[in-house]
Chain A
Amino acid sequence: KQEVTQIPAALSVPEGENLVLNCSFTDSAIYNLQWFRQDPGKGLTSLLLIQSSQREQTSGRLNASLDKSSGRSTLYIAASQPGDSATYLCAVRENFNKFYFGSGTKLNVKP
């Protein structure tokens, strides 16, 4: 069974710092990987979707990379802001109904 791990579980950084969140998965037979943001008590907001054939995707200050063969993805956040504080979840899709979540990284950006 696919296992998705996110490190670190929590991260606190000062405003303006660049940071990297990590996601690893055990089975490389995936269709895509998706990064989500979740604010406390709220739903999931999709940030970036990377297809298995892609190496990276960018949206604004966010850049996600994917190394399928090694089972790793990173989410790079440039020039972090207090508004970036949230929990970040990665999830991998194996087929139509198999979508595995990591346990998330809780990010706190201090003003």
Chain B
Amino acid sequence: DTEVTQTPKHLVMGMTNKKSLKCEQHMGHRAMYWYKQKAKKPPELMFVYSYEKLSINESVPSRFSPECPNSSLLNLHLHALQPEDSALYLCASSQERRLNYGYTFGSGTRLTVV
């Protein structure tokens, strides 16, 4: 299995809703990432998990709450989002501490906040 699987593919939520994005990989990668991508812009790093521990938070608002319950799964919990949070959310994974390896990305979740 050489894929990163993200669900759902599309999500529409109201500003008072609580929802979660899910990311799963079975490649044995111990580093997992959340990126946010706005239209016509490159992906921007949000969070990095290393060995199931949060190692990087790029000053992301607290309405985004990441969780890594095990080495294969990464969640992003969403609460009280704003319309400007609408974007494509990408998950990625890589070999921890093997810097000669590249990143594997999922196909993303298209989030619309109404």
Contact = CB atoms under 8 A, between A and B. Distances in A.
Q: Do A and B come from one complex?
A: yes
A93 interface: yes
A104 B107 contact: no
B110 A34 contact: no
B97 A46 contact: no
Contacts of B90: 43-44
Nearest to A44: B105
Interface stretch (A13-21, A61-69, A74-82, A94-102): A94-102
Given A44-B43, A104-B42, A96 B105 contact: no
A42 B102 contact: no
Chain B interface size range: 20 to 34
Contacts, number: 57
Given A95-B99, A97-B56, A43 B42 contact: no
Interface in B71-114: 88, 90, 92, 96-97, 99-108, 110
B100 A99 contact: no
Contacts of B105: 36, 43-46
A38 B108 CA distance: 11
B45 interface: yes
A51 B100 CA distance: 6
B41 A93 contact: no
A34 B108 contact: no
B103 A102 contact: no
B25 interface: no
Nearest to B91: A43
A42 B102 CA distance: 19
14 contacts: A36-B105, A41-B88, A43-B6, A44-B90, A45-B105, A46-B104, A51-B100, A89-B42, A93-B103, A96-B31, A96-B97, A97-B45, A97-B50, A101-B42
